[in-house]
Amino acid sequence: MRPEHLEKLNEWFMAQIAVVKGEGTNEQDFREGEVADLALRRIFEEHFEELRQDAGFIEEAFALVSDRTSPADLRGVAAQAQDHGQLEIGRYLELIANYREAETV
Neighbours of 66 (CB within 10 A): 12
- Total number of domains in the chain: 1
pLDDT digits (tens, 9 = 90+) for 3-42: 999 999 999 999 998 888 888 887 777 777 888 888 888 8
Read off the DSSP letter of residue 25. Answer: -
Q: Which domain does 84 fall in, by range?
A: 3-104
- pTM for the whole structure: 0.83
Distance of CA 13 to the CA centre of its chain: 6
On average, the pLDDT of the chain sits at 88
Given a contact cutoff of 8 angstroms between Cβ atoms, the answer to whether 24 and 34 are in contact is no
Read off the DSSP letter of residue 81. Answer: H
Nearest Cα residue to 90 out of 76, 69, 72, 71: 76
Taking the CA atoms of residue 10, residue 12, residue 16 and residue 22 in that order, the dihedral angle to the nearest 10 degrees is 90
